[in-house]
Structure 1
Amino acid sequence: MIEQLSLFAERLPHRPYCSDDKTARLIRSRARALQFPYIQVNPPKLRFWLPFDLDKPGGAVAWEDALLPPPAVAIGNPHNGHAHLLWGLEAPVATGDAARAAPLRYLAAIEGAMLAKMLPHGADPGFAGLIVKNPAHEKWRTHWGPPHLYGLGELAEWLDLDKFKPKRALLKEIEGYGVGRNVSLFNALGPEGKWAYTAVRRYRGKPFGEWEIAVLAKAQEMNGEFRTPMDCNEVRHIAKSVAKWTWKQDKARAAEFSQRQSYKGKRSGEVRAAASEDRRASARLMAASGMTQQVIAQALGVTDRTVRNWIND
């Protein structure tokens, strides 16, 4: 566990975003940021980790239910069983260099295929991947998987990539129209690309800050496809404008929030289920790491039979 945590910390940005909530508006040194429950996991133009958000109880074991290889870490919320799953990449993939479009498209296809396999198990398709639960923070229940980093080819062996080949034409085409890259990026996010108008629906009932972070992450991804990427401040300004506009236009957001409030009574049942799912997640990741059923049972305070049922379920 110490080795895996050290690797996680070493791969963080030098000054990551961090905060006590999902908006993560603070920027601090790496050591200081590790003291917050939410933290930026990848540097701006590199992908060391593939993060996914599982928004349902039992999220920490969604990888197994989806027939995927064990993640490096599953970071669970002990109150509702939701989790962030992170797969580590053996070699980082550059996302800001248009000259390396091939590995970027390969990565996009892998992410799309992994997301598709986990959608039936609660994966959030609107998750931006910029901010994750900090596995070093006491607020979360962290389950460490095998100390293994994956190559893209190795991950591809678990997936059917034919259905997830990225469309190459979008930014190649939009770069040539309008008055430049600013207009192109704005249109790709909103009026013509329509990404924001669809994606904002997944943030109804959530804080605006989460939506703003999602738009910024998408804008940075699109900016990386330009032959000459724009300045970060320009991208941030465009993302902020698109985020504000689509947030105001999504009139159904307020109604959705009211509807969600009526379901608060169901949370107590989810919390109880989350406690059992949390230990099941630990058992499966511990087994994937090579630990025996007896050792797992002693560590989790359950019987050997319970561990056997969890692993064979």
Structure 2
Amino acid sequence: MVITDYIKSSTNPLLPEAFQFLKRKDIFAINYKHKQIGICNKSEGFSLYTFEKELLWEINKPIVGALLAIERQQIWLAQRHDAEHITIWVYDLQGKALASMPMDDEIYDANIELKALPNNKVVITFYGGQDGCMSYLLSFENEKLKVAKQLPNDVDFCCMLNEKEAVFTNFYEAELYVMSYPSLKTLKKHHFSEDWGAVAQPFKGDKILITDMYCNRHYIFDVSTLTVEDEIIFKGFEPYKDEVEEFLVSDIDELHYHNGQLIASYMEVDSERNAIYHWLISKLEY
């Protein structure tokens, strides 16, 4: 799929206008439906805003991960104590603590991400780069938090296909799994090429977006048939042969699907060696 009709932008279309100052290294969570954004800061705490930058509430704790489960009337936060210990908190929308649970960071000072699943459950993933990742299914019931299940090492949650099937990936083994939910038993498994560093995100229906992080190439993957359906290419940014590795690479370092549009980003370096990001926004809806 070659996208020829798109707009170039110097502002990030995935961020509200009032929050264009946020960078990739910043930790934040967005709920587009309810137009709220939570910003985490290890030294300054957590602040919840509307898209118009109205402060709703804030707490002064070293927060390193957040999930805005507004539909459930919940805000999930990960508070770091030290490199080996965190606490998971569940708050209501007014900032009242509903429950908390300590957890060990076995990877050591990992990056943390929280993702919502059905039935009041959340996946927390500890990312350690070359040290792999560890994921846990957390449950919040009767005002209590608990670990419902630990996932196999290096398995990362992608998205729900429906209420009973979830997609997971293993970046290090270049594998994709379709699992039953909530039992998380493997129903299907697909192994990509050994030289793939595959990460996945939702697209639509039985299709997801797969990015090979080793060469920044992006594909539509049909989960129902376990096949790569098409490569997504923006005209003018076609893959080219890397002079060192001698395989095809792309300058499109990220690809997202948002509000029916495919949104790509690429980086340039200015004269002072600062990273400058640009975005490509498809005009057609997919």
TM-score, normalised via structure 2 length = 0.28
TM-score, normalised via structure 1 length = 0.26
Structure having greater relative contact order (Cα 8 Å, sep ≥ 6): 1
Q: Which structure has greater helix proportion?
A: 1
Q: Which structure has greater strand proportion?
A: 2
